[in-house]
């Protein structure tokens, strides 16, 4: 037994992660795949890695030093359970099983509990960054016990992406059991929102100014040198500049406009609904993908009327700058909402999550990597208990500078009949959360009217009910609703 780490599942993610591990000083990597061909191919193609191949789970366990540490990279769901069950048979108390796949966090909580009963440690680790990340350095979000982090921490730190600002590896022990997969889920939700906001910005500029995709690519490339600097803005410019070889048209004009989804955005929204956290930006982004993917409805709905007036922008450059500011303001809201969900999840599941550390490990290796995450980390370093991220001084300043442009863009989009669901819902959230009074008082009145759900008063303690179907006097009520 001389491997210090093992990988189970050698499809694209697992083999890249195994190669990443093998390339680090001091690691010897055991590899196993259900069907042996993938193992054989990997060791044949990468003799430099010095992999220790195994044909059975028994051989795999025998090739690992104790405490044995293995990372599973298989298809999320039943395959993960099958591999866990097989490893539990051949591992011993104190060993560590890591699931690096895209598991749904309640599954991770369940698996951690079941595996812990055998004395073996189970760690659900969100791994972000796709194939390239797995090979060169992903952002890693591990949950699991403190005990497993002692062994696992140095290994994961050695393969994680490195934040350019301070050279810190993009990995932290997020919290116990499902905390890592929970945070990875919210990461993906934020990614949905960020992508939708960028897409809306592109659409507004294109339809507002008539600029070509290549010209808009230049605008995004320019934006990428400022406060919006991020991987997603960078690749947006690349995609917009691409010309389709077969038609000579911009590629974006020949790609079918129906966005796919693998479900992590929906998980983020479903979880937020149960936690009572308004992640409206992520929800709109998820729904916008759903809306795009129903051609049968979009076809019939084309008969619906749009605005009477033709949409024209007189000051093109001014409009583009407004869109940039609206994009930044909406992005602040999307991240503020995402971090709110992490805060609420931590409270619900008893995870001690350091929000500044989460912002820091997203600075490299993952899809949402951006300059901006440094500002979020600063905000939480300054005040770890910040109730609303966008109320940190830096963001207040950015929103103060951007809010009038943001309002103009949302108003223009509405008047022009251009859908901007994420821009407009972010603005509505912003105005809702900063409002002195909300019409929620009226909702409470309605609820009391039809269901005697009672209400509280602003001027004295207690719970009250109006006798709506009687003489409409107010009575004190039991606080049961
Ligand atoms: P896949 O998700 O395509 O899974 C294929 C692997 O699962 C193969 O190694 C296959 O073995 C194995 N497997 C299956 Br299917 N059923 C099994 C079973 N019952 N027992 C043992 N092994 C089984 O691989 P992938 O695309 O490399 O993704 C791996 C994980 O990483 C997934 O959870 C995925 O969601 C996640 N992922 C993450 C990112 C990211 O950016 N973070 C990107 C892509 C994927 P076989 O060769 O014998 O069929």
Does the Cβ of 34 fall within 6 Å of ligand 1?
Answer: yes
Does the Cβ of 102 fall within 6 Å of ligand 1?
Answer: yes
Backbone angles phi, psi at 5, to 5 degrees: -155, 145
Question: Of residues 112, 168, 184, 360, which has the active-site annotation?
Answer: 184
Residues 185, 342 contacting (CB under 8 angstroms): no
Does the Cβ of 76 fall within 6 Å of ligand 1?
Answer: yes
Nearest atom of ligand 1 to the alpha carbon of 127: 42
Distance between Cα 35 and ligand 1 center (Å): 12
pLDDT tens-place string over residues 255-309:
999 999 999 999 999 999 999 999 999 999 999 999 999 999 999 999 999 999 8
Active site residue 478: no
Does the Cβ of 357 fall within 6 Å of ligand 1?
Answer: no
pLDDT tens-place string over residues 43-89:
999 999 999 999 999 999 999 999 999 999 999 999 999 999 999 99
User: Which pLDDT band, with edges at 50, 70 and 90, does 469 fall under?
Assistant: very high
pLDDT tens-place string over residues 364-421:
999 999 999 999 999 999 999 999 999 999 999 999 999 999 999 999 999 999 999 9
pTM here is 0.96
Q: Whose CA is nearest to atom 3 of ligand 1?
A: 75
Q: Tell me the C-alpha distance between 388 and 298, whole Å.
A: 37
Active site residue 191: yes
Mutate to test the pocket of ligand 1, among 8, 10, 12, 13 (most ligand atoms within 8 A of CB): 13
For the chain, what percent of residues have pLDDT higher than 70? Answer: 99
Distance between Cα 76 and ligand 1 center (Å): 7
pLDDT tens-place string over residues 168-205:
999 999 999 999 999 999 999 999 999 999 999 999 99
Q: Is the pLDDT of residue 230 over 90?
A: yes
Three-state secondary structure string covering the chain: CCECEEEECCCHHHHHHHHHHHCCCCCCEEEECCCHHHHHHHHHHCHHHCCEECCCHHHHHHCECCCCEEEECCCCCHHHHHHHHHHHHHCCCCCEEEECCCCCHHHHHHHHHHHHCCCCEEEEEEEECHHHHHHHCCEEEECCCHHHHHHHHHHHHHHCCECCCCCCECECCCCCCCHHHHHHHHHHHHHHHHHHHHHHHHHHHHHHHCCCHHHHHHHHHHHCCCCCCEHHHHHHHHHHHCECCCCCCEHHHHCCCCCCCCCHHHHHHHHHHHHCCCCHHHHHHHHHHHHHCCHHHHHHHCCCCCCCCCCCCCCHHHHHHHHHHHHHHHHHHHHHHHHHHHHHHHHHHCCCCCHHHHHHHCCCCCCCCECHHHHHHHHHHHCCCCCCHHHCHHHHHHHHHHHHHHHHHHHHHHHHCCCCHHHHHHHHHHHHHCCCCCCHHHHHHHHHHHHCCCECCCCCCCCEEECCCCCCCEEECCCCC
User: Which pLDDT band, with edges at 50, 70 and 90, does 480 fall under?
Assistant: low
Q: Is the pLDDT of residue 481 over 90?
A: no
Q: Which long-range contacts (CB under 8 A, 24 or more apart) does 472-481 make?
A: 477/452, 479/454, 480/454, 481/452, 481/453, 481/454
């Amino acid at each position: 037994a001389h491997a210090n780490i093992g990988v189970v599942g050698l499809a694209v993610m697992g083999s890249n992660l195994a190669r990443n591990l093998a390339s680090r000083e001091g690691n010897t990597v055991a590899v196993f795949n259900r069907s042996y061909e993938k193992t054989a191919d990997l060791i044949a193609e990468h003799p430099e890695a010095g992999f220790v191949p195994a044909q059975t789970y028994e051989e795999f366990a025998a090739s690992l030093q104790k405490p044995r540490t293995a990372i599973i990279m298989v298809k999320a769901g039943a395959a993960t359970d099958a591999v866990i069950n097989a490893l539990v048979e051949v591992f011993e108390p104190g060993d560590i099983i890591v699931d690096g796949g895209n598991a749904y966090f309640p599954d991770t909580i369940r698996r951690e509990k079941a595996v812990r009963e055998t004395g073996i440690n189970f760690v659900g680790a969100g791994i972000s960054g796709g194939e390239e990340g797995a090979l060169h350095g992903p952002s890693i979000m591990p949950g699991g016990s403190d005990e497993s982090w002692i062994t696992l921490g140095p290994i994961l730190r050695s393969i994680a992406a490195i934040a350019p600002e301070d050279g810190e590896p993009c990995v932290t022990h997020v919290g116990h059991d499902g905390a890592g997969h929970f945070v990875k889920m919210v990461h993906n939700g934020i990614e949905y929102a960020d992508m939708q906001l960028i897409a809306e910005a592109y659409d507004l500029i294109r339809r507002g100014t008539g600029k070509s995709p290549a010209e808009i690519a230049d605008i995004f490339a320019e934006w990428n040198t400022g406060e919006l600097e991020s991987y997603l803005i960078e690749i947006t410019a690349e995609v917009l500049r691409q010309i389709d070889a077969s038609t000579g048209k911009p590629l974006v004009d020949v790609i079918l406009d129906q966005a796919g989804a693998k479900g992590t955005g929906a998980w983020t929204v479903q979880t937020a609904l149960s936690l009572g956290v308004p992640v409206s930006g992520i929800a709109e982004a998820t729904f916008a993908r759903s809306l795009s993917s129903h051609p049968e409805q979009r076809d019939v709905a084309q008969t619906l009327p749009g605005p009477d007036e033709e949409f024209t922008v007189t000051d093109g450059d001014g409009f583009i700058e407004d869109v940039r500011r609206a994009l930044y303001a909406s992005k602040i809201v999307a991240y503020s909402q995402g971090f709110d969900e992490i805060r609420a999840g931590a409270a619900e599941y008893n995870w001690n999550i350091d929000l500044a550390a989460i912002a820091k490990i997203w600075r490299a290796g993952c899809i949402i990597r951006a300059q901006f995450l440094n500002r979020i980390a600063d905000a939480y370093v300054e005040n770890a208990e910040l109730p609303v991220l966008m109320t940190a001084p830096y963001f207040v300043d950015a929103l103060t500078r951007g809010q009038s442009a943001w309002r103009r863009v949302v108003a223009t989009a509405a008047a022009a009949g251009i859908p901007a669901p994420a821009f407009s819902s972010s603005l509505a959230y912003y105005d809702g959360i900063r409002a002195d009074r909300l019409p929620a008082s009226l909702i409470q009145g309605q609820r009391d009217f039809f269901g005697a759900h009672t209400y509280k008063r602003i001027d004295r303690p207690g719970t009250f009910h109006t006798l709506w179907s009687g003489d409409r006097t107010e009575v004190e009520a039991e606080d049961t609703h």
